């Protein structure tokens, strides 16, 4: 079990066990002696299966257990349009572990979502039924808009009071979501809260000035799908350059890209395994430390330096580099290509690193909907 750590709608109720009572918010009360009600959030992506179990703690939450495994659900999807039998079997094995953790913890609320691979695969409904049959878990395939919204909500605690224009970037395995938010009408002390209040359609709830979404886009290129498109290019540096420019070309319909001129109080927050790996590499961490990475601010020069180091290492060097890890070495350059393209375009030379994303957004959304989070200061 991972150590407890603080962080910091749409909840699917778990059947209430016999003898359990409902709290005033409608959430099943935890069994006697088990402490606060526990929530689970599971994110099944193109490359990874990740889950958090947590309970509310004041205005935030405390993680009591977690799970993360590379399952490569989308392996071969680009060519066939289907989830392979091997990848589905591998993923269901990981989901069985998650189901056992949920059952053992006595989770009272959960939301279990699947993203781009299941959105695209022709046999995704068959896969969802198989998951339900073999694990008892009900996966929900969410829209790109909902995925982007939840990523934004998770990053709210990292928004600076000085930020007037915010770009949140979530680099996934099969897609990359970008959301541009105008906070200029919101009082500085309310900016993070206004993002936390966002609901479906990116509308902020509540009275007074609110965060306004200028535009958002889901680019159908993530670390796995972009890598697959250029796997026939043998030269490492040429492949990286082609991936970066190709990703930039796919941003043409994103309105802030068409007019990215200088803006006051601009902040980019990047959330993904790519961003946290680049940050850990810059810090020289041989063992990952979330406390040192989450909230770190990096300059574009520092990011470029790490990427040049990756290119100098080559495929063999990256495979053995402990800063990258064996689960990510084949995907780090496609992710870095996306990251470099973004830093090349926008009017800032700084990036805020977020070790948080869809799972944290799912937890915040469930707890907020249930009214179990206290108002922040």
Burial 85-123 (b: 16+ CB within 10 A, else e): eebbebbbebbeebbebbeebbbbbbbbbbbbbbbbbeb
Of all residues in the chain, the percent with pLDDT exceeding 90 is 63
Fold agreement (5-143, 146-358)? yes
Averaged pLDDT for residues 117-146: 95
The number of residues in the chain equals 377
Domain residue spans in the chain? 5-143, 146-358
pLDDT value at position 12? 35
pLDDT tens-digit series, residues 272-312: 899 999 999 999 998 889 899 999 999 999 999 999 999 99
Region label for 35, one of left (φ > 0), alpha (ψ between -120 and 50) or beta (otherwise): left
Q: What is the pTM of this model?
A: 0.81
Q: Is the dihedral of CA 55, 60, 66, 72 positive or negative?
A: positive
What would the two tokens of residue 261 be? 């001129």
Reference 176, options 1, 369, 337; nearest CA is 337
DSSP per-residue codes, 99-166: HHHHHHHT-SEEEEEE-HHHHH-TTHHHHHHHHHHHH----EE--HHHHHHHHHHHHGGG--TT-SEE
What would the two tokens of residue 41 be? 């959030």
Is the pLDDT higher at 260 or at 171?
A: 171
| Kind and range of the H or E run holding 227 | helix 223-229
pLDDT value at position 203? 56
Instruction: Evaluate whether 358 touches 147 at the Cβ level (below 8 Å).
Output: yes
Region label for 314, one of left (φ > 0), alpha (ψ between -120 and 50) or beta (otherwise): left
pLDDT value at position 260? 66
Give, as one character, the DSSP assignment of residue 27: P
Is the pLDDT higher at 96 or at 59?
A: 96
Instruction: Evaluate whether 278 touches 307 at the Cβ level (below 8 Å).
Output: yes
**Euclidean distance between CA atoms 135 and 58, whole angstroms:** 33
CATH 3.30.420.150 fits 146-358, yes or no: yes
Domain 5-143, CATH class in plain words: alpha beta
In the predicted model, is pLDDT for residue 362 greater than 80? Answer: yes
pLDDT tens-digit series, residues 198-238: 764 555 555 457 888 889 999 999 999 999 999 999 999 99
Weakest-pLDDT range from 37-46, 120-129, 163-172, 368-377 = 368-377
- Strands (DSSP E) found in the chain: 5-7, 12-13, 39-44, 48-57, 60-70, 109-114, 140-141, 165-171, 176-182, 212-219, 266-271, 297-299, 350-354
pLDDT value at position 34? 55
Hunting for tokens 């979330």 — which residue is that?
290
Number of Cβ within a 10 Å radius of residue 84: 17
DSSP per-residue codes, 298-329: EEHHHHHHHHHHHHHHHHHHHHH-TTT-TTTT
Confidence category of residue 263, pLDDT binned at 50, 70, 90 = low
């Amino acid at each position: 079990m991972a150590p407890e750590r603080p962080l910091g709608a749409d909840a699917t109720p778990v059947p209430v066990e016999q003898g359990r009572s409902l709290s005033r918010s409608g959430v099943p009360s935890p069994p006697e002696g088990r402490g606060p009600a526990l929530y689970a959030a599971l994110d099944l992506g193109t490359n990874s299966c990740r889950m958090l179990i947590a309970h509310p703690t004041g205005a935030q939450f405390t993680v009591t257990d977690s799970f993360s495994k590379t399952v490569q659900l989308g392996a071969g999807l680009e060519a066939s349009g289907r989830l392979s039998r091997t990848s589905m079997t591998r993923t269901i094995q990981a989901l069985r572990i998650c189901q056992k953790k949920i059952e053992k913890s006595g989770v009272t609320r959960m939301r279990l979502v699947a993203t781009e691979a299941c959105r695209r695969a022709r046999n995704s409904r068959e896969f969802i039924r198989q998951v339900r049959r073999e694990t008892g878990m009900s996966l929900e395939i969410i829209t790109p808009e909902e995925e982007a919204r939840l990523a934004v909500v998770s990053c709210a605690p990292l928004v600076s009071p000085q930020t007037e224009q915010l770009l949140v970037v979530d680099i996934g395995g099969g897609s990359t979501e970008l959301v541009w938010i105008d906070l200029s009408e919101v009082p500085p002390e309310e900016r993070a809260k206004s993002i936390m209040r966002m609901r479906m359609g990116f509308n902020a709830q509540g009275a007074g000035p609110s965060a306004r979404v200028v535009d958002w886009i889901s680019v159908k290129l993530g670390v796995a799908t972009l890598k697959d498109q250029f796997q026939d290019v043998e030269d490492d540096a040429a492949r990286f350059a082609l991936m970066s420019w190709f990703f930039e070309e796919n941003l043409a319909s994103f309105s802030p890209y068409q007019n990215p001129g200088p803006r006051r109080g601009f902040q980019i927050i990047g959330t993904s395994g790519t961003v946290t790996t680049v940050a850990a590499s810059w810090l020289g961490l041989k063992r990952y430390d979330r406390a040192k990475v989450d909230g770190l601010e990096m300059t574009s020069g520092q990011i470029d330096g790490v990427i040049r180091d990756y290119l100098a290492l080559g495929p063999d060097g990256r495979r053995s580099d402990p800063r990258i890890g064996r689960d990510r070495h084949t995907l780090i350059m496609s992710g870095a290509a996306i990251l470099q393209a973004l830093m090349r375009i926008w009017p800032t030379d700084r990036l805020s690193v977020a070790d948080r994303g869809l799972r944290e957004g799912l937890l915040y959304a469930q707890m907020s909907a249930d009214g179990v989070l206290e108002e922040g200061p």
